């Protein structure tokens, strides 16, 4: 007797043979779905987004006239203090400390600011720090060589490539060279994949997304069942924040440069995470009264009076947001310090794992 499974296969093959004989190659219907990569578009935020004032600004329903400021600096300092204690204990016990390496390509102002903060933070907690600075004109091979050297260095437990890279680089190719065990930024495809799949645990959660959740939890903001909107879908912030909010059981939407009427979507958000990289994109009319607003944007604006010749502002118009939201993060001093603190925490975990230290 022929097994049922084999019989089904035979019937299917016969029917396909008949079908293929009866149709010419031009008549056979091919799938219309293109490759996903061919669908990729660069998010270029139109200035028209910033002109949307079709709805009047409503005040917050909270008792106070202005929103509570979520102080990322103080929260980050508490975490760094606990990390410094662990580093001291590690040094006394085994004579070693965590090591962090950064690969910086080019001279982007925001990247320089991030790296400067990371260097200071490493010194504060007692980490070893190394940096490989490469010109924007360098080759992908040069970046990959620097990565490979740090992969082999036993004194380095965490490596990050400061993103975004110049446009002529293939970020995916470069990140694939990075050792999974040292991917403290959490951008390796396996880490992102495990973040996306229920029941899986990534070795490292991307630092900004992790910092956002930490700020919400430490501020006693309820996430489960709440409606969250993430503005921006970058691999660095938007996508991992979307995935992490989903893992925390929020109902999550993403707004991007091709979204129609984005302010209508954002006005439904109990939790809004702005990560588009556009100064003052989010106006008061975009916000639901009483929403919690996390401003991830760090945008350099020319300022001759500043020490570095520029100052940083966020994606959210802060002056308008404090009149509508129940809580909001400032820029600087909000999500940024927590991102650095999460990077230190990931590096400490990587060092403990590598050194079998508990």
Active site residues: 118, 162, 185
Contact status, residue 67 vs residue 330, Cβ threshold 8 Å = no
Q: What are the structure tokens assigned to 320, written together?
A: 């308008």
Owner of token pair 């990931």: 346
φ, ψ of residue 42 to 5 degrees: the values are -80, 130
Q: What are the structure tokens assigned to 294, written together?
A: 């996390």
Phi-psi region of 346 (alpha: psi -120 to 50; beta: other; left: phi over 0): alpha
Classify residue 255 by burial, with Cβ atoms within 10 Å: 0-12, 13-18, 19+: buried
- Please name which of 34, 36, 178 lies closest in space to residue 192, comparing C-alpha atoms: 178
HEC readout, 202-270: CCCCCHHHHHHHHHHHHCCCCCCCCEEEEECCCCCCHHHHHHHHHHCCCEEEEECCCCCCHHHHHCCCC
What single-letter DSSP state applies at residue 282?
B
Distance of CA 307 to CAs 84, 113, 298, 311, Å? Answer: 29, 12, 17, 9
φ, ψ of residue 104 to 5 degrees: the values are -115, 120
Separation of alpha carbons 305 and 130, rounded Å: 31
Residue 332, helix vs strand vs coil: coil
Contact status, residue 142 vs residue 104, Cβ threshold 8 Å = no
Contact status, residue 255 vs residue 274, Cβ threshold 8 Å = no
In sequence order, the 6+-apart residues with CB closer than 8 A to the CB of 310 are: 109, 300, 301, 302, 303
Q: What are the structure tokens assigned to 148, written together?
A: 């490979």
């Amino acid at each position: 007797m022929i097994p049922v499974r084999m019989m089904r296969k035979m019937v299917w093959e016969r029917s396909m043979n008949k079908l293929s004989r009866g149709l010419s190659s031009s008549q056979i219907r091919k799938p219309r779905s293109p490759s996903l990569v061919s669908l990729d578009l660069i998010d270029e935020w139109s200035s028209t987004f910033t002109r949307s004032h079709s709805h009047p600004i409503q005040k917050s329903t909270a008792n106070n006239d202005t929103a509570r400021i979520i102080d990322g600096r103080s929260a980050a300092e508490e975490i760094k203090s606990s990390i410094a204690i662990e580093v001291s204990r590690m040094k006394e016990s085994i004579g070693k400390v965590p090591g962090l390496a950064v690969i910086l390509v080019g001279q982007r102002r925001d990247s320089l600011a991030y790296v400067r903060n990371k260097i200071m933070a490493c010194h504060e907690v007692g980490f070893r720090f190394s940096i490989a600075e490469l010109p924007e004109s360098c080759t992908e091979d040069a970046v990959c060589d620097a990565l490979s050297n740090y992969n082999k260095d036993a004194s380095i437990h965490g490596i990050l490539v400061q993103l975004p890279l110049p446009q002529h680089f293939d970020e995916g190719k470069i990140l694939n060279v990075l050792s999974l065990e040292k991917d403290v930024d959490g951008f390796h495809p396996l880490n992102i994949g495990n973040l996306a799949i229920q029941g899986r645990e990534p070795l490292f959660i991307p630092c900004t997304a992790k910092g956002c959740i930490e700020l919400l939890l430490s501020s006693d903001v309820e996430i489960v069942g709440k409606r969250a909107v993430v503005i921006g879908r970058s691999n660095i912030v938007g996508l991992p924040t979307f995935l992490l909010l989903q893992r925390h059981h929020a109902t999550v939407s993403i707004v991007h440069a091709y979204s129609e009427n984005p302010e209508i979507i954002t006005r439904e958000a109990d939790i809004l995470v702005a990560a588009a990289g556009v100064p003052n994109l989010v106006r008061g009319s975009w916000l639901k009264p009483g929403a919690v607003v996390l401003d991830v944007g760090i945008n350099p604006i020319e300022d001759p009076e500043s020490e570095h010749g520029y100052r940083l502002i966020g994606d959210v118009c802060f002056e308008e947001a404090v009149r509508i939201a129940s809580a909001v993060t400032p820029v600087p001093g909000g999500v940024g310090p927590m991102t650095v603190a999460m990077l230190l925490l990931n590096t400490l975990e990587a060092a403990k794992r590598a050194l079998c230290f508990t």
